[in-house]
Amino acid sequence: MSTPSLNDLIELGAISEAQGLRGQVKVRPHSSDPVALLSSKTVWLSLIPRRDLNTSNTPAIEGSKASLTEYKVQGAKMHSGNVVMTLDGVSDRDQALALKGARILVARDAFPKAAKDDYYWIDLIGCHAINLQKESLGEVIDVTENGAHGVIAVGDLAKKEVRYLVPFVKEVVQSVDLPNKVITLDWQLDWQ
C-alpha cells in the first residue's frame, strides 16, 4: 500500500503514553465514541504539526513534510476513556514510549458504515446549512461536543467565520442529506 496523502487521512487521536510492558500504546481519542479508531486494521502515525485552521488541507508550517508511518493494528480496546492499541512491530515499552505524542490517522474509507441517523462529524464539515424557509445559513465549519450533544459551527467556511453555534439535536436538525451536502435546520437567520 502506498503512503496516502494527508487529505485522505482523518486524525482520530494521539498517543499519550505507553501501556504496560509489551509495547501497547495508550491513545487519547478525539471522540467520546471512537468506533472508527477501535475498528481500524491499519493506522498511520505522524509527528507533524496539526493543520492550520486558517487554510484548508495544508500543514500548519509552510514546507513541513508529512512523515507518515503505517502500522497494522493487532488489537484495540477501550480502557478508562482511552483506546489501548497493540501495533505490529512495537513489542516493548521503550518502543511504545518512542511513539508518545504521535498523531493517529486513519483513511476515511476505512471507517465502518455509520448507523441510520448517525454521522461522522468529518462528513458534516463543508455541508451547506439551510433553514426551514430555505434561507442559507452558511456552511458547517466545525463540529464539537459539549458533553450533552454535538454543536455545529455554521458560517463562512472560506473565511472560517462562525455565524451560528447550533446544537446538533433532533429538535433542531431536520434532515441531513450527505450526498448533496445539505443540512436543514429549524433555525432563524436572526438567531445568535
pLDDT for the residue numbered 123? 93
pLDDT of residue 1: 52
Where, residue-wise, is CATH 2.30.30.240 in the chain? Answer: 121-185
Confidence band for 3, pLDDT divided at 50, 70 and 90: low
Query: Could you give the residue range(s) of every CATH 2.40.30.60 domain in the chain?
Result: 6-110
**pLDDT one-digit tens code per residue, 94-138:** 999 999 999 999 998 889 988 888 888 899 999 999 999 999 999
What would the pLDDT profile of 51-81 be if each residue is shown by its tens digit? 543 444 444 444 455 578 999 999 999 999 9
Domain 121-185 homologous superfamily, CATH: PRC-barrel domain (2.30.30.240)
Which whole number is the average pLDDT over 28-41? 91
Q: How confident is the model at residue 167 (pLDDT cuts 50, 70, 90)?
A: very high
Average pLDDT, the chain: 87
Q: What would be the CATH architecture of the domain defined by 6-110? A: Beta Barrel (2.40)
Among the listed residues 132, 172, 133, 136, the one whose alpha carbon sits nearest the alpha carbon of residue 152: 172
Dist CA 39 CA 72 (whole Å): 12
Question: 97, 18 in Cβ contact below 8 A?
Answer: yes
